[in-house]
Structure 1
Amino acid sequence: MAFLNIEHLEKSFGTNHVVKDFNLAIEQGEFVSLLGPSGCGKTTVLRMVAGFETTSSGAISIDGQDVTHLRPNQRNIGMVFQSYALFPNLTVAQNVGFGMRVAGRPKSEIKARVDEMLRLIGLPKLGNRYPFQLSGGQQQRVALARALAVQPRVLLLDEPLSALDAKIRVSLREEIREIQRELGITTIFVTHDQEEALSMSDRVVVMNGGVAEQTGAPFEIYNHPTTRFVAQFVGTLNTLSATVVDAKTGGVTVGETAIALNRPLDGAKAGETINLALRPEVVSLGRKDGRDTVLAGRLAEVHFLGSTIRMRVDVGGTLISLDTFNTPDTPPPQIGEAVELSLAERDLLVLSD
């Protein structure tokens, strides 16, 4: 049995069914992200695991113990919130040791643990400061130390980086992951930021409308999405309408271009329209060896992003995005210029609804 088990979890607020038959098994020491748009149910799942929300049905167990109906303080869970939630009238050290004081731990043990946590988060000399004297990134580090000080069985992180600026977010997510690995603590991380989820997680659960649409490693989620929503939500995606010619062999046409997918299209029939998708990075400007499908179009947009350039090409009324590396000596084509795109059939995804 996994260390943290969530089985058939449901949550309704009146007639609003916000979590539907949610199942997830997390191994000890695993870092799992719940990824999805606002309102998809990810924070509600987290709050039910923490005990801040009651379940409508289903069960939650930690290390073999059923905690479904236990109060939050009986579950031995650490939680970090988006808004830091530090006590403004307490010093950094007092904030970190708060949970241990409530638990009645000896002062000497509290001091030793607080000092250990402050070293862990890289703030060993700031114990006497107050939250208002810290930056946002420092405050979130303190909130993390407070959650870890009580030695919880599970760490829950509810969009802890969303209030920080871009550079601090990147550095802090790396620190959180490093600390999590060092401690080996089982962690659930809630975010709507796909880059955070993909870069930090052992596994990602993509949620939509209260349902877990797909669960898998970041590589699998990005490269092999199983539904249209996952494909479109995780990363940038080009979608193409294709007409089925031969469902058994995967023969289709996109506009006037014939494409052999070389795999059966289960449930499809000749003459039907299906949706294909491909990532911008697998599309090349011009002809390229190994990418035998060529589409003709006109350059519609050019977006300079620093190290990369994103272009959008109008192919028969469909805009297809592609990414190329910025080469200072080779400027991109001009908008309106006729261009060719090349791609490999193996990179085309068949989307399910």
Structure 2
Amino acid sequence: MAFLKIEHLEKSFGTTRVVKDFDLEIEKGEFISLLGPSGCGKTTVLRMVAGFETPSTGAIIIDGKDVVALRPSQRNIGMVFQAYALFPNLTVGENVAFGLKIKGIGKDEREARVQEMLAMIGLPDLSSRYPFQLSGGQQQRVALARALAVQPQVLLLDEPLSALDAKIRVSLRTQIREIQRELGITTLFVTHDQEEALSISDRIVVMNGGVAEQVGAPFEIYNRPSTRFVAQFVGTLNLIEADVIEPASGTVRIGTTEISLGRPLYPGRVTLACRPEAVSLGAAEGRSLVLHAEIGEVHFLGAVIRVQARTGRTSLSLDTFNRPDTPPPAAGDRVQVSISPADLLVLEA
């Protein structure tokens, strides 16, 4: 049985439904990310699990108990906010100990737990400092320690890394994942950052308009999107318009090139999609769809070079590895690009 179970959860503000018939089952120790654009309902779901919002309908079951009627302090949940929410008049140690003090934990046990938490987040010597004396990354680690100090059943993270710079974000998300695995704590993480969700989640819930469009492992979400929205929202996507020539065999025409997709299609026009890494510069073994193109923009990203190539009315992004002995193509170069039919998703018929 799932450790955290959300059933038919809905939330309306006035006449606006922001969460619609949301269902999710999370196993004990799983790390689940709610991913989606601003306004999709992901933070509202998190706040309902925390008890800060009351569902219009539905159930939230933690370890077999429906907690909808319970106050936040009765749910044994730890929460880390986007804006840290540390008490500025308390030291680091006092911030971490705050929840323990509220629970009536004795002083000796509190101090031992604080030291344990500060060691876990890599700040063992900063107990006497105040939040204003810490960097943003340090403050967020203290907020994480405070949430974990009370040994919650569920950890909730509301875009905790969005206010940090890129390098610190990568470092801290890795640390959060390591700590979560070490403690085996069930975690629900809200983010609009695809890379964050793909890199640290056991499963991802992609939300759109208050609905869970797809739930799956990062590999499935990225490589096998089940809706057009998921395909376009997660990662970079190339869209290719094609005419269906033989519906039974899935033969389509792209420009003047015909190719079989090997699966039945509806007659008419379809939109095909593929990721940049599925497009090769030049002919490549196993990639039988070959198109003539002209190089447009070339973006040097370090280890990877992102190339824009135009073929007819279609613009394709493709990724090629940086090789110091091989300069990238230049804008205006005439080239061939190749794609495997197996890498083409049919988004609409």
Scaled to the shorter chain, the TM-score interval is: over 0.9
Aligned residue type for 1:291: R
Aligned residue type for 1:242: A
Which residue in the other structure is 2:319 paired with? 323
Which residue in the other structure is 2:293 paired with? 297
Identity %: 72
Please give the alpha-carbon distance, in whole angstroms, between the structure 2 residues aligned to 1:245 and 1:27: 46
Q: Which moved more, 1:15-24 or 1:244-253?
A: 244-253
Q: Deviations over 1:156-213 (max 9, x none)?
A: 0000000000100000000000000000000000000000000000000000111100
Q: Which moved more, 1:14-23 or 1:240-249?
A: 240-249
Aligned residue type for 2:326: T
Aligned residue type for 1:91: T
SS class of match (1:97): helix
Which residue in the other structure is 2:214 paired with? 214
Q: Deviations over 1:17-37 (max 9, x none)?
A: 111111000000000000001
Which residue in the other structure is 1:71 paired with? 71
Please give the alpha-carbon distance, in whole angstroms, between the structure 2 residues aligned to 1:63 and 1:333: 57
Match of 1:312 among 286, 305, 308: 308
Q: Deviations over 1:197-243 (max 9, x none)?
A: 00000000000111100000000000011111111111000001111
Which residue in the other structure is 1:249 paired with? 249
Please give the alpha-carbon distance, in whole angstroms, between the structure 2 residues aligned to 1:111 and 1:162: 31
Give 1:103 shift.
1.2
Please give the alpha-carbon distance, in whole angstroms, between the structure 1 residues aligned to 2:270 and 2:159: 36
Please give the alpha-carbon distance, in whole angstroms, between the structure 2 residues aligned to 1:136 and 1:108: 29
2:265 is equivalent to residue 261 of structure 1: no
Please give the alpha-carbon distance, in whole angstroms, between the structure 2 residues aligned to 1:108 and 1:175: 27
Give 1:328 shift.
1.8
Please give the alpha-carbon distance, in whole angstroms, between the structure 2 residues aligned to 1:217 and 1:172: 22
User: Contact 1:283–1:342 (CA<8 Å) still a contact in 2?
Assistant: yes
Give 1:94 shift.
0.3
Please give the alpha-carbon distance, in whole angstroms, between the structure 1 residues aligned to 2:240 and 2:260: 15
2:347 is equivalent to residue 351 of structure 1: yes
Which residue in the other structure is 2:335 paired with? 339
Which residue in the other structure is 2:232 paired with? 232
SS class of match (1:170): helix
- Cα RMSD of the aligned pairs, angstroms, is 1.0
User: Contact 1:276–1:348 (CA<8 Å) still a contact in 2?
Assistant: yes
Please give the alpha-carbon distance, in whole angstroms, between the structure 2 residues aligned to 1:157 and 1:334: 44
Give 1:352 shift.
4.4
1:59-208 paired onto structure 2 within 5 Å? 59-208=59-208
TM-score by length of 1: 0.97
Please give the alpha-carbon distance, in whole angstroms, between the structure 2 residues aligned to 1:247 and 1:60: 46
Please give the alpha-carbon distance, in whole angstroms, between the structure 2 residues aligned to 1:79 and 1:333: 49
User: Contact 1:6–1:59 (CA<8 Å) still a contact in 2?
Assistant: yes
Please give the alpha-carbon distance, in whole angstroms, between the structure 1 residues aligned to 2:348 and 2:260: 19
Give 1:45 shift.
0.3
TM-score by length of 2: 0.98
2:30 is equivalent to residue 34 of structure 1: no
User: Unpaired segments of 5 or more residues in structure 2?
Assistant: none
User: Contact 1:227–1:352 (CA<8 Å) still a contact in 2?
Assistant: no
Aligned length: 349
Match of 2:275 among 279, 282, 297: 279
SS class of match (1:351): strand
Structure-2 change in CA distance of 1:185 and 1:352 (3 Å): farther
Structure 1 runs of 4+ with >6 Å offset = none
Aligned residue type for 2:319: D
User: Unpaired segments of 5 or more residues in structure 1?
Assistant: none
